[in-house]
Amino acid sequence: MRKIKLIPDIPFSTNCDISIIDVTDDKEKKRCKIKIEYAESDVKQMKEKGASKEEVLENYKTMIYDVVKYYIAGDWECVNGYDTVLKIIEDKTKNFF
C-alpha cells in the first residue's frame, strides 16, 4: 500500500488543485495533480439525491480516494493532508446548506 501526502494549492471559490506526493520509500515523489470541483452546482447534484452536509463531505473524501487510486494504480493511505483538503471543501461549500 502506497503512503501518500495531499498538498492543496491555493483554493479558488469553485475548485482546488491537489498535488499527490508518494512518500512510501521515505523520499517524496510527485505522482500527479488532481482538481476537486466544489461549485454550488456540483454540491446541488449531491443534495438533490438527499445528501446531508456530512454525506457531501464523505462523498468528496471517497471521490478523492478513488481518483488517486486510479492514477497510482493501487490502494493507498494518506499520511498527511486529507484533513486540510476536506476543511477547504467544507469552508467553500458551507453556504450551500
pLDDT at 26: 86
Q: Which residues, at least 6 apart from 15, have a Cβ–Cβ distance to it below 8 Å?
A: 35, 36, 37, 38, 39
Sign of the four-CA dihedral 66, 67, 68, 71:
positive
C-alpha cell at 58: 464523505
Find residue 6's DSSP bridge partners.
20
Contact in structure between 82 and 7 (CB atoms under 8 Å): no
* Nearest residue to 59 via CA among 43, 79, 74: 43
List the pLDDT tens digit at each of the 97 positions of the chain: 999 999 999 999 999 999 999 999 888 999 999 999 999 999 999 999 999 999 999 999 999 999 999 999 999 999 999 999 999 999 999 999 9
Would you tell me how many other CB atoms lie within 10 Å of the CB of residue 66?
A: 10
CB 20 within 8 A of CB 6: yes
